[in-house]
Each structure stands twice: as C-alpha cells, then as structure tokens.
Structure 1
Amino acid sequence: MKLMKWELMLGALLSTAFGGLLLLFLSQLLASWTDLSSPFTRTSSKKFEWQAQTPPALVPRVLQSYSFLLNHPDKCEDPRGPPFLLMLVMTRPQEVGVRQVIRQTWGNETLVSGVIIRRLFVLGLPPPLFAQELQDLLEEEDREHGDLLQVGFLDTYHNLTFKVLTALEWMAQSCPTAQYVLKVDSDVFLNPNYLVQQVLWPNGPTQLDFITGHIYRGANPVRKQNQKWYMSPELYSHNQYPDYCGGPGYVMSGSLALRILAVAKSIKPIHLEDVFVGLCLQQLGVKPTPSPPNTFLMFWRKYDHCTFHRLVLVHHFQHQELLQIWPDFILSHSACPTG
C-alpha cells in the first residue's frame, strides 16, 4: 500500500537523524520568532531552492505575486456550481498518515449529501534536513490524491498567520464564489453534517458578514515569555484582544473571507492567527456570530456517539482515536434521541 510505503520511508528518514533534525528545526523555528522581515522564498519552475525563510510583513504586492509549489487551481470547478463549503485544513508536511485518516473520515468530500464540499490540505515547506526527500513524498501523495496546497515558506507555528492568509489568497484566485470557508486544524474531530445543517443552513440565504466558532471575548495578551501564546508589547501594545474565533476551527462566509484578505494587507501581522483574524474583523466592523452553544470545543472530550452528533468540533483529537471512533459515529446516528 502506497500510504504504508510513505510512512515507512518517512519514518526511516526522520529516525536516522532525529537529533540533527530536531536541533535544526528548532533553530529555524527560533529564527521565525525573531525575524518577521526576511523575504519570501522565491521559486522557479526549473529548480526549487531549499532555503525556507519567514515571510515579511504583509503588503499587497507580496500576496498578489505569490505562487504555490503544489496547487490545484481547478479544484472548485464543478458543473453543478460553486462549493457550498471549502475546507482549508492546516497540516504539516510530515503528517502523511494524519491526512489519510482525515480523507477517510470527516474530510470526505461526499459525506454530506445535497451540498458540494471541497477540501484542501494547506502545508508549507518541510524541515530543512532531508527536505528534498520529504518533498518527493509530498509530490507522490499529491499525484495520488490531488488535494495538497503547498506554500513556499517553512511550516512553523509562528508562520501560521501567513499560511492561513496565503490559503485565503488561493481561495480569492481559484474559488472566489465558495459560499462558506472553513479554516480547521488537523488535530480535531469534525462533524461536517452538523456544521452544514445546523450552523450554515444550506436551504437558507447566504450570510454575508458571517463568521462563527468558539468566540473569545475580552481575552488578554499573554505577557510571560515562556508561554506558547506569548505576545510582546512591541508587537501588540493593547491590553485586550478584540473578539475572535478560536484557531482550531472557524467557518466564515466566502464574501467575508475575501474582505478579511483585503484588509489584512493594511494590518501589522502577528503570529497568533486567530487573534489576527479578530483584528481584521475589528477593522471591518464585523462581530463573530454565536454558534449553537457548546458546539465548538477547544478542549478534548471523551467520545460519546450521541453527544458528538450534536457537536461541530472537538480539539486535541488524535488521528488514531479518530480512526477508532469513526465507524461507530457514522452508524450510531439513528440510535440517538432527537432534540
């Protein structure tokens, strides 16, 4: 099986030089924390130079001229019409097995009847050590599945804002008439049927200035430097963030996604992607719309089939667990009480 071959090859590559990979990856990560002004990696159709760098502050010419290393500009073309929902799944290059599990579970484009769903996995460059070998595996995976959207900078946590914005740039170029856009992480359980039927209402009018998820209101910046979500006063000086939807998963109307992309070019970028989107919403004068209560969970919850049928998303859900519970989730719906 091709997936098994990829995973074996990937495991061998990583395990032979794990220490060196870790050190080099951490050094690149630290560089991305401190340098938000280095140039985009430039690519050529003849040769790709493996010099992953952090993108600069966002300016219109950067986003407009940006090209993708793996791309599917015809992904949204369908004789039935534009997608009702475009899924942009944030994933790391080495997560071959995770992507395959998502394809088999909540990322299945045919899971919800009566609507058109399109899914793309968004990823950056692999860590520099064995980068060419990993890229070869990605290209083979993409030839088989046709669903990888690769951007040309190092795939790190602190580059997530740029990763999301370049994915929205792809949407603006290749899928501008999608009714709704879902930004979602790869470590979640997702219930697309509940999302479509109970949150987006496919038989109702499209909600133009619409974004929902788990809404954070009145959140304060973390000022302790040893914390994951540390925000320096130099980068963001205010004592409170605007309202924003939690990064593990939020959904917005396609028209609002385009407006966010446009206004993002005039806002100083910060590495907390969900907060940055909140800053864009503040600039636009748009408030997040509350979802049905307790349906976007930002924490792990033990699986219960009837409870999960009334949820949109559960964070910190590993792909092994997802694969185990999915058959029961699919088959158990009729056994759950309604209401």
Structure 2
Amino acid sequence: MHPSDSCMNLWRRLWKYLLIAVVLYATVFLNIDRIRTFSTESSLVQVIETPPHPNWSQNTTYSAQFKDQRHSYQFVTIPKKQCSNNTKLQITILSTAGNFEIRQAIRDTWANPNNSKHVENNDIRISFIISAAQNEFLNSSIQKEIEKYDDLIVTDLYESYELLILKVHAILTYKQNFCESADFQLKIDDDMAVYMEGLYDSLSEKKQSSVDAISGIIWRNSPPVREKKHRWYVPMTLYSQKHFPPYIDGPIYLIGKNVIPKMLDATKNYSQWIIEDVFWTGILAKALQIRQINWANHLLRYVIELVPSRLKCLNGKPLIYAVHNMKGPQMIIDGYNKLTGVKCQ
C-alpha cells in the first residue's frame, strides 16, 4: 500500500469519529431541555399540600377492568371545593389540556355562579376533566388555572378519542368516590352551551330524570360501521348484531346515582370499546335493564337549530336545556345568550 493511501485512510477514520461525536452532541446536549421535560413531566402538575378530600391521594390507583384489558390510572389533582350535602347534580365537562379559552367561555356563561343560583349554592357542582399535558408549557398553564379556578380534575390517562371510554370511567369513579351523595351525574362535552336553570328543574320531573335511569337523546336502530379504516369501526368479534341497542347521544347524558356502581362493576364482563356512548349508555344499559329517558325535545344537536321555532317555551319556561356543536368560545357565549334570552309568559 502506498504511504499516501495509509494517510488517506487515517483521515477518513478521523472524520468518521468526528462526525459521530457531532451527532452525539446534537442528540444529547442540544435536546437536554426536552429530556429534562420528559423526565419530570409527572411532577409538573403539583401536589396539593392540603388534601381536598379524605378519600384522595395522588398515590391512589383506580382500575378500569374489561374482559380483555385492564387500565390503571390516578387523579393527579382534584378540586379543593367538593360536593356538599345539598349538591344534587355533579356536572363533569370533558375537555383537553389546551382548551383554555373554551373553558373560560363556559366559566363566564353557564357555569358562572353569578348566572345560576344553583351553581352559587353548590346545588350543582361543576368541574372539567382533562388528562395531564405532555409538555412543560401546558402543564405550567394548567397549574395556574388550578390555582385560580379550582375546577380541574386532572388524570394521568392518555388523551385520545380511542380511550374516551376510560375518561368516562374516570368521571363515574370520581362521582362514586368524591360526590357519592349527589343524585345525578351529568357527562357533557366542552362544545355545548347550557340553560342551567331549565336543566336543574328537570331533575325534579319524573318524566325527565330518575336516579335509576339515564337521560339524553336516544338513538335507535343504529347499525355498526364495518369499514376497518373508519374511526367508529366495530368488528364482528366485538358486536355481531345488525343494530346497536338503543343508546344515548354522547355529547350530553345524565346518569342517576343508583346505576353508576352497577355500570362500573359490569365493565369486567365486556371487551373494551372505542365508541364510548354506545358502550356506557347502550350495551351496559341493556344488560343492566337501565331505563332510558328521551330528551330529544330539550336538546339541540347543531348551531343551525338555534332558531325561534325551536327556542320556544313550555309551562312558562324555555324548552331547550342545551345545544351542541358550539365551535369555539364565541359560539358558546352566543349560544348561551340565545338559550337564556327566550322570553316566556
């Protein structure tokens, strides 16, 4: 081998080692902040020094047990202000970590104690449920939100549509452990505007609610989707019937306190579903023979239904309790104003 060839091979090896060193530096040192964030994510939402409830601890683990899967989760933090002896309705609003402005619009309108005597008196207890954020900035903002409003239930569940069934499990588990005496649990999405007084009044009407029933818009004869790429795909191995049993529309449903422990216990007999409302209010409701009460005359599914012909009165009170598909904070505000602005004789 020519001496010049040996020198050339030596330089090539040196350049190779130098390149490896540069890549390692870029990977480790330039991403050190990201590594630190990842390693400390679980501690970003701080522990509340004074436990808000004797049943609560950050170390308490709850289990969602299905026939084919088991999920353990924790409540990272819960509101300090809890249900009282006079709390009749607990409302838990499904939200996500980044929906700050939407939560604020709800706080400013239908969840505001200045706009509802029942919220002010704690007859109704309102909280948002979210999953812990995956980055430091969001978790820092959530911590400030907790300190200011004290209305967030934060879990360590992974945030995804496919696991929404677990978030509802957490809602019902929270109800059983921290607000058991309340007669009703309302599960509601954060894209709804609500006429709170009408909703609360319905709790005293036997035709509208029962501690042994589920209330909401009832869907009947809905066929399962069999296309594998569809988000609501249901394989024959999970459910082989031609139609789902009657179930309650997912954006809002009211569950009586007597059926909640039965539902939580019954999950172990069924495989895990993706379609949360079909599972909780249809599959389990049928198996447990839970009565369903139809609120189709009192709920609007789309903003285009906010028209005078729908916003009428019944027995001197506004007919509509809530409207769905309010996309963004301004629509929530506008929808609330329309629902509460109905003039009844």
Alignment of 1:174-185 (within 5 A): 174-185=178-189
Q: CA 1:109 to 1:169, structure 2 compared with 1: closer, same or farther past 3 Å?
A: farther
Secondary structure of 1:301's aligned partner:
helix
Aligned twin of 1:17: none
Shift of 1:120: 0.9
Give the match for residue 230 of structure 2.
227
SS at match of 2:77: coil
Q: Which among 244, 249, 253 is matched to residue 246 of structure 1? A: 249
Q: Distance in 2 between matches of 1:97 and 1:150?
A: 17
Quote the Cα distance in structure 1 between the aligned partners of 2:196 and 2:127. Answer: 15
Mapped partners of 1:289, 1:262: distance in 2: 22
Q: 2:6: which partner in 1?
A: none
The residue number in structure 1 matching 2:322 is 313
Kindly provide the CA deviation profile for residues 95-138 of structure 1, in whole angstroms up to 9, marking residues without a partner as x: 01110111111222464435601011011133x4xx22211211
> How far apart in 2 are the matches of 1:266 and 1:134?
37
Q: What letter matches 2:232 in structure 1?
A: W
Which residue of the partner structure matches residue 33 of structure 1? none
Q: Distance in 1 between matches of 2:45 and 2:145?
A: 21
1:180/1:254 contact within 8 Å kept: yes
Q: Letter of the 1:237 partner, please give it.
A: S
Q: Contact conserved, 1:211 with 1:289, CA < 8 A, in 2?
A: yes
Cα distance in structure 1, aligned partners of 2:217 and 2:175: 23
Q: Distance in 2 between matches of 1:136 and 1:183?
A: 27
Amino acid across the alignment from 1:241: F
2:146 corresponds to which letter in structure 1? D
Matched residue of 2:156: which SS? strand
Distance 1:214 1:205, change over 3 A: closer
Letter in 1 for 2:124: I
Give the TM-score of the pair, scaled to structure 1.
0.72
Residue equivalent to 2:190: 186
Shift of 1:325: 4.7
- Asked whether the equivalents of residues 210 and 288 of structure 1 are also in contact (C-alpha less than 8 Å), the reply is yes
Amino acid at match of 1:233: M
1:301 match: 304
Superposed displacement of residue 44, structure 1 = 7.7
Q: Which amino acid aligns with 2:189?
A: D
Conservation of the 8 A alpha-carbon contact between 1:301 and 1:314: no
**Overall identity of the aligned pairs, in %:** 23
Aligned partners of 1:109 and 1:118 also within 8 Å:
no
- In the other structure, the counterpart of 1:58 is 66
The letter for the 1-side match of 2:331 is E
Kindly provide the amino acid, as one letter, of the partner of residue 230 in structure 1: Y
In the alignment, which of 220, 240, 256 is matched to residue 217 of structure 1? 220
Deviation at 1:227, TM superposition (A): 3.0
Q: Secondary structure at the match of 2:117?
A: coil
In the other structure, the counterpart of 1:11 is: none
Partner of 1:107 in structure 2?
Answer: 111
The letter for the 2-side match of 1:150 is V
Specify every segment of 5 or more residues in structure 2 that has no aligned partner in the other structure, as ranges: 1-40, 48-62, 312-317
Partner-residue secondary structure (3-state), 2:130: strand
Partner SS, residue 153 of structure 1: coil
Total equivalences in the alignment: 278
Give the equivalent residue in structure 1 for 2:137: 133
Native 8 Å contact 1:110 1:117 kept in 2: no
- Whether 1:120 aligns to 2:127 is yes
Residue 32 of structure 1 corresponds to: none
Q: What SS class does the counterpart of residue 86 from structure 1 fall into?
A: strand
Kept in 2, the 8 Å contact 1:215–1:245? The answer is yes
Residue 235 of structure 1, CA deviation: 3.0
Offset at 1:329? 4.7
Larger radius of gyration, structure 1 or 2?
2
Contact 1:179-1:206 at 8 Å conserved across structures: no
Verify the 8 A CA contact 1:109 1:119 in the aligned structure 2. no
- Contact 2:45 2:76 (C-alpha < 8 Å) held by counterparts: no
CA contact (8 A) 2:193 2:333 kept: no
Return the alpha-carbon distance in structure 2 between the equivalents of residues 249 and 186 of structure 1. Answer: 10
Given the alignment, which residue of 258, 264, 269 partners 1:266? 269
Q: Would the aligned equivalents of 2:195 and 2:339 in 1 still touch at CA under 8 Å? A: no
CA RMSD of the aligned region, Å? Answer: 3.2
Q: 1:46 to 1:276 in 2, by over 3 A?
A: closer
Q: Which amino acid aligns with 1:134?
A: L
